[in-house]
Amino acid sequence: MLSKMQAAVEEVAQLYGNPVFLQVFTNDTERAEELKERLRLARSEKDMQRELSDLQHRRDDLLNDLALKQREASRLAARLVRQRAALEALASAVEQARKAVEETAN
């Protein structure tokens, strides 16, 4: 009987491209339910581990992106300081030129 059931399972598996599966033959319904529950828990644990790994990877990507944005913001802030200093120097030079023109006109 077992060999016939295995042959039937193999035939069906071939029809579906030999997917990965687990086969358990039992006539003990309590044991079957226990095995089903264990399999469900094992799958859910595996899924949770995969999800946790994906979330950790996403967190690392976001932290790297944040660090990059912070470096960019720092670079832009330094550039802004330099441009403000240049603008203040230009405004001072224009003011000095205006005063020189006023003094010359008087």
Give the C-alpha separation, 17 to 43, whole Å.
22
Return d(Cα 9, Cα 3) in angstroms, integer: 10
pLDDT tens string 5-57: 888 888 888 888 877 777 777 888 899 899 888 888 888 888 888 899 999 99
Burial 31-63 (b: 16+ CB within 10 A, else e): eeeeeeeeeeeeeeeeeeeeeeeeeeeeeeeee
Q: Let me know: does 60 contact 37? Beta carbons within 8 Å.
A: no
In tens, the pLDDT along 57-99 reads 999 999 999 999 999 999 999 999 999 999 999 999 999 999 9
pTM to 2 decimal places: 0.49
Domain ranges within the chain, ordered by starting residue: 2-105
